Amino acid sequence: MSLLRVVGRPMLASMFLAGGLESVRNPREVAPAAEPVVRPLVDRVPVLPDSTEQAVRLSGAVQIAAGLLLAVGRMPRPAALALAATLVPTTLAGHRFWEEEDPGRRAQQRIHFLKNLSMLGGLLIAADDTGAAPSLLWRSRHAAHDLRRDARLVQRSLRAGARPASAVGRVRAALPR
């Protein structure tokens, strides 16, 4: 594993571990800001808890679990996708800069929104990172290519073996019995 992955994954995960712990410990502080985003999600996804506080806790728990997995390099691709899935509603709930009236607070919220957008980009890159090992898609394409090549070789060898056998059969048929 590359040194950049060993160092970079825990660094990327650190924000989610800290934020997830805070969400699990104190969901009441985040719940009012999360309400406008959680309510439509709960209406569309029936498996989510009805309570905004419980949804915030669930998101925090996912961030802790996926953050730990990403930090230690276990299942980093699914962990990065899980973190990305929690980051979108968190960003939309917590950094609604377009609703701020005060220019200073608007600028601060815009910075946090863009920071989260940058982290989302890093998570998407981590989710696509195969760690220098070929992806399943690449492996399947190359396996199919190898099978086609092997089938052509078998076909050619059968044809090559059939030609002399065919010639022998013609000669035998022409000989008197």
Which whole number is the average pLDDT over 50-58? 88
pLDDT surpasses 80 at 135: no
Dist. CA 70–CA 20, nearest whole Å: 14
What band does 43 get if pLDDT is binned at 50, 70 and 90? confident
- 3-26: average pLDDT: 91
CA-wise closest residue to 97 among 81, 86, 85, 113 = 113
Residue 107 exposed, middle or buried by CB count within 10 Å (0-12, 13-18, 19+): exposed
Q: Is 8 exposed, middle or buried (0-12, 13-18, 19+ CB in 10 A)?
A: middle
Q: How many CA atoms lie within 13 A of 58 on its CB side?
A: 14
pLDDT-derived band at 1, boundaries 50, 70, 90: low
Are 52 and 35 within 8 A, CB to CB?
yes
Q: How many helices (H) and strands (E) does the chain have?
A: 6, 0
Rounded average pLDDT over 69-96: 91
pLDDT category of residue 83 using cuts at 50, 70 and 90: very high
Q: What is the pLDDT of residue 25?
A: 93
Q: What is the pLDDT of residues 99-125, one digit of tens each?
A: 888 999 989 989 999 999 999 999 999
How much is the mean pLDDT over the chain? 88
48-68 mean pLDDT: 91
162 or 149: which carries more pLDDT confidence?
149
Is residue 65 pLDDT above 90, yes or no? yes
Name the band, by pLDDT with cuts 50, 70 and 90, for residue 3: confident
**What tokens were used for 144?**
């199919």
> DSSP string of 123-148?
HHHHHH--TTSPPHHHHHHHHHHHHH
pLDDT at 6: 86
Q: Whole-model pTM?
A: 0.70
